[in-house]
């Protein structure tokens, strides 16, 4: 039988010392946001270096460790990933080693490296992000799309074309990646101004997902529609009317209800 999943603490002070030590060694995944916040990138970065056969006293590592305490929590992770990237950018073996660590935070850092590959094409970056988009850990999946978001903002039309096959994938995580990555507004990321003003190009990705069986995908599609509704309520209402006319199943009904929650708050409901 597989081991029983660890139940995360509700507060940082309640995390067992041995669990926190294992997280900071890169031995285990975090299981909730409390553990993630408690992790210390300044300890984890040298440990990560050792795990991928780097010198923990490398100047890039030492400089990053010294700088991390001055940064905001999320910036620390990007800074740590940046330090590793500058050392292993062209080192396929070490990048693969980082991408397959037992620590979700280290895999997140590997995913962040996809966003730092400025010389790669958008198609190449999406291909590199794919294993992280399919990762079993929710945190890695979130970083996967955040890492390539700016590249998608810069080449939105191409991204919509390249992501078309993703919405037919058997893996719900990959289908959700295509939707979440292209949301007009999104969370903690740059907006896609062109889709805020004209969401219509996104319908090619959303249409195949309108009755997706996965709640994970359904929520992302609904959030996409809700994003669009804030600048183009007419478009979101029209799409929902069309979908509900085509399919009144539970999935579509749920997506359309959640996708119009901004309209419900502002009394701009569908007729």
Q: Which of 125, 116, 44, 111 is nearest to 87 (CA)?
A: 116
Does 21 share its domain with 112? Answer: yes
Does 169 share its domain with 263? Answer: yes
φ, ψ of residue 187 to 5 degrees: the values are -125, 135
Q: How far apart are CA 131 and CA 51, in angstroms?
A: 20
Does 60 share its domain with 141? Answer: yes
Q: How many structural domains are present in the chain?
A: 2
> Which one of 124, 154, 184 terminates a domain?
154
Interaxial angle between packed helices 138-154 and 122-133, expressed in degrees from 0 to 180 and rounded to the nearest 10: 170
Per-residue DSSP letter, 6 = P
266 pLDDT above the threshold of 90 = no
Q: Which of 71, 11, 65, 64 is nearest to 37 (CA)?
A: 11
- pLDDT band of residue 179 (cuts 50, 70, 90) is very high
Q: Which of 3, 10, 20 is nearest to 103 (CA)?
A: 20
Contact 105, 77 (CB under 8 A): yes
The residue range of the domain holding 233 is 159-271
**Is the pTM of the predicted complex or chain greater than 0.85?**
yes
* Residue 147, CA distances (Å) to 48, 58, 97, 152, 183 in order: 20, 25, 19, 10, 14
Q: What is the pLDDT of residue 12?
A: 96
> Which one of 132, 154, 176 terminates a domain?
154
Average pLDDT over residues 17-28: 98
5 pLDDT above the threshold of 50 = yes
Distance of CA 216 to the CA centre of its chain: 13
Does 34 share its domain with 59? Answer: yes
Counted residue by residue, the chain has a size of 271
């Amino acid at each position: 039988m597989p081991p029983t999943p660890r139940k995360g603490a509700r507060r940082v002070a309640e995390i067992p010392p041995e669990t926190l030590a294992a997280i900071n060694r890169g031995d285990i995944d975090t299981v909730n946001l409390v553990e993630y916040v408690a992790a210390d990138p300044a300890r984890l970065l040298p440990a990560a270096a050792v795990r991928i056969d780097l010198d923990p006293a490398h100047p890039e590592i030492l400089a990053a460790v010294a700088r991390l305490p001055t940064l905001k929590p999320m910036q620390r992770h990007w800074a740590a990933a940046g330090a590793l990237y500058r050392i292993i950018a062209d080192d396929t073996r070490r990048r693969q080693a980082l991408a397959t660590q037992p620590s979700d935070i280290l895999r997140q850092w590997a995913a962040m490296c996809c966003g730092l590959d400025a010389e790669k094409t958008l198609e190449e970056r999406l291909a590199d992000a794919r294993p992280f988009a399919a990762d079993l850990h929710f945190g890695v999946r979130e970083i996967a799309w955040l890492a390539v978001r700016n590249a998608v903002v810069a080449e939105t039309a191409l991204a919509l074309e390249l992501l078309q096959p993703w919405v037919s994938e058997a893996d719900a995580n990959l289908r959700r990646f295509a939707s979440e990555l292209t949301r007009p507004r999104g969370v903690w990321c740059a907006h896609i101004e062109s889709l805020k003003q004209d969401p219509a190009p996104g319908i090619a990705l959303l249409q195949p997902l309108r009755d997706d069986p996965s709640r994970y995908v359904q929520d992302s599609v609904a959030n996409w529609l809700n994003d669009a509704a804030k600048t183009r309520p007419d478009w979101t209402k029209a799409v929902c009317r069309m979908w509900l006319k085509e399919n009144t199943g539970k999935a579509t009904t749920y997506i359309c209800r959640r996708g119009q929650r901004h309209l419900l708050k502002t009394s701009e409901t569908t007729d």
